[in-house]
Chains A and B, each alone.
Chain A
Amino acid sequence: METKNKIRVLIAKPGLDGHDKGAKIVALALRDAGYEVIYSGLHQTLDQIMQTAIQEAVDVIGLSIMSGAHLPICEKLINMMKEQGLFDVYLTVGGVIPHQDIPRLKEMGVAEVFPGGTSFEGITTGMNKLFK
């Protein structure tokens, strides 16, 4: 049946940066790769992102961050995910992420990092890899 095993992804932009073109384009690319993408828009607080991830029963939370605050945001969200018991939900992050920060992000539990310049193919391959 067609309804089997769709992967649900929440695309959210935490904090104050007001630039969501990238997030929207990634949402489209993921749709075209067969994902169900919940797009929650700009200026989301971490509480909003958590509640949305819970209510939507997503498999992945994808953050788009351009503000430079990716390290504290991801760390806080990962802790919240643990508190809420969302152990089977992956966190991925894209946007303006300096390469030297990627090891730190992975260390704290971010599943995939897609810094600016990553191709759509790179994103979908990276996401697909999580569900192999």
Chain B
Amino acid sequence: MLKAEDILEGSRKAEAQKAGARMIRLIEDNDPSAFELLKQLYPHTGEAFIIGITGSPGVGKSTLIDALITEFRKLALKVAVIAVDPSSPVSGGAILGDRLRMQRHATDTGVFIRSMASRGQKGGLSRATKDAVVVLSAMGYDIIIIETVGAGQAEFDIASLAHSVGIVSIPGTGDGIQAVKAGILETGDIFIVNKCDKPDADAACHELVMMLGMRNLSETRWKPVVLKTIAQNGTGVDKLVQSFLSHLNFMKKNGLIDRKKKKLDRLYFQSLLKDLTLEKILVFMNNSTDFKEMLKKIESGSMDPLSAAELMVNNLITFE
């Protein structure tokens, strides 16, 4: 049986890393005991700096995170990574290959890397990811890096989990309109043009700077930075780490970090409300005689699924 106290030691003791890992497994498997444990862990969270890394497949997110870990470790900061990869919609299985690029950190006790399958959740990140962040934060990691599935265009979710969002792109992939229409310009705090040894790197940076410059930003808001890196050999990654830390300092100075944390709490609360309500109602409905009757009516053709669902929900929930 897992105990919250064991998990709390996670970033310091090898034994406790195991407890944290098992805890995340319970979360993924939707085990009822996970919720109680999360409640106990939550008061111990809040210290970690949470960084989101997103971008299209193949831009080098995992390799970049590998290099980020190295740089953060030089500063003696403890790092946890959650790398999300998609589940197959057909088999439900998944190949989680992100940590392949980070394996040199596998035996560093100050580093914890965890792959997660998206398990059918939309937007690339699931509530399980948020719950896992709670665990890692309680374990005492200074930096938590979340790598999203490389979907690129549908990942606003990351902004509801991270304090600072890095968006990775590479030179020579279409015009900047791609970036604008995706809406990711508003989500990103730091824009990374990776694989900068490829041609057109400067052009890609200029384009990003220009697009970002077109936004109206007040003095009190963080001005997004554009940086060039070659993750493969670590070029520019020290600057990237400094940029993430300056963003954190900026937010601290302006009181933005507290506001952001409150916002993330609110979003967590809302997503929990949605999930818990839905679970409870679905269990209740699936067991009710109404449900079976409605199902019979739908099957026999005497009622359509839309009217049946409407009637059942209206019968069940009335707000006075």
Q: Which A residues fall within an 8 A CB radius of B?
A: 1-6, 8, 27-28, 30-41, 44-45, 47-48, 51-52, 54-57, 84-85
The 8 A CB mask of B78-107 against A (1 = contact, 0 = none) is 000000000110111111110110010011
Residues from chain B with a CB closer than 8 A to the CB of A5 are 29
B107-A51 in contact (CB<8A): yes
Residues from chain A with a CB closer than 8 A to the CB of B87 are 36
A40-B99 in contact (CB<8A): yes
Given known A2-B120, A39-B97, contact A34–B115 (CB-CB < 8 A) = no
Residues from chain A with a CB closer than 8 A to the CB of B96 are 36-39, 56
The 8 A CB mask of B18-52 against A (1 = contact, 0 = none) is 10011011001110000000000000000000000
Residues from chain A with a CB closer than 8 A to the CB of B117 are 6, 36
Q: With an 8 A cutoff between CB atoms, is B113 at the interface?
A: yes
Jot down 11 A-B pairs with beta carbons below 8 A, ordered by A: A1-B30, A31-B88, A36-B94, A38-B96, A41-B100, A47-B106, A52-B99, A55-B17, A56-B114, A57-B21, A85-B18
The number of chain B residues touching the other chain, given as a range, is 20 to 34
Which of A1, A40, A51, A84 has most B Cβ within 10 Å? Answer: A51
Residues from chain A with a CB closer than 8 A to the CB of B93 are 6, 30-37
A6-B28 in contact (CB<8A): yes
Within 8 A of A (CB), among B103-128: 103, 106-107, 112-115, 117, 119-120, 128
Given known A44-B103, A52-B103, A55-B112, contact A31–B95 (CB-CB < 8 A) = yes
Q: Which B residues fall within an 8 A CB radius of A?
A: 17-18, 21-22, 24-25, 28-30, 87-88, 90-97, 99-100, 103, 106-107, 112-115, 117, 119-120, 128
User: A103 CB to closest chain B CB, in angstroms?
Assistant: 31
Which of A48, A51, A55 has most B Cβ within 10 Å? Answer: A55
Q: Name the one of B95, B107, B114, B120 contacting A27, with C-beta atoms under 8 angstroms.
A: B95
In the complex the two chains form, what is the Cα distance from A2 to B122 in whole Å?
13
Closest-by-CB residue of A relative to B126 is A3
